Amino acid sequence: MLEVRTPIMELSTEQITTFNRDGILFFPGLLDTDEMTGLRDELDDLLGLQRPEILREKHSQRVRCAFAPHTYSERYRRLMHHPSIVEPVKQLLGGEVYLHQFSINPKAAFEGESWGWHQDYPTWLIDNQIARPDVINVGVFIDDVTEFNGPLFFVLESHQHGALDTETDEESTSYKLLGVSEAKVAELCQQGELFSPLGPAGSVWFFHPNLVHASNANVSPYRRALCTICYNRTDNLPSAFARPEWEAHSDFSAIESR
């Protein structure tokens, strides 16, 4: 797994090859500490808001996911334009991009619940009729992510199998999930290794929407907040809108880095 510590504006040929093979690139500590401090300091206030975009855990009622934070936070709006995020995304996708989805997953200390094995693209294919998986998911660590506080697990190379058959899970989670079966995950792990990105706040990953991933519950006393920014090519627009605007945005303007 290729890890790079210096801020980047342009990916190397080696990095692009790694992404195409593994389905993910991870850059520990990519973003500036001061930038992350501002995002982290504001987060408690955002999570305390009563808004339809903010979903609760099924059991603990702590915040599970805060959608569209860029619409009620200037700091998070600026983050989605960050050059070290937008420019690599445009390189990987080979064209202009718009913001399809933006969310914060705070995974609360002791009470943050699990996310089962899944791919992201099947939901967008079914609910939004996005024809191609020309989407990049960018994850930004707001908190330090360790082996203890519910990190994500990815099955490397699993994106190479395309969109897999799914099982709808509405029992274990408050947010409907199109899951991948345990048998299929076991099969995929015979080809690709499991990878769990760990690092300080400001670490960033870029991953393919067909990469199979999951995360455990957070039973530690340490919150594990990260945000996920999903960019789609501007020539790959959805043709159906089964979800609310804050889950699947309809502003298809090309995102500029600044």
Contact 101, 138 (CB under 8 A): no
State the pLDDT at residue 178.
86
State the pLDDT at residue 174.
47
Strand partners, 229: 102, 138
27-233 under CATH 2.40.50.140, yes or no: no
- For the chain, which residues make up each domain, given as ranges? 27-233
9 contacts: CB under 8 Å, gap ≥ 6: 83, 84, 87, 88
**Among 78, 67, 143, which Cα is nearest to 104's?**
67
Give the Cα separation of 204 and 54 in Å (integer).
23
pLDDT, averaged in runs of 10, over the chain (258 residues): 56 97 97 92 94 88 94 96 96 98 97 94 95 98 98 99 85 71 97 97 98 97 98 97 94 96
State the pLDDT at residue 168.
78
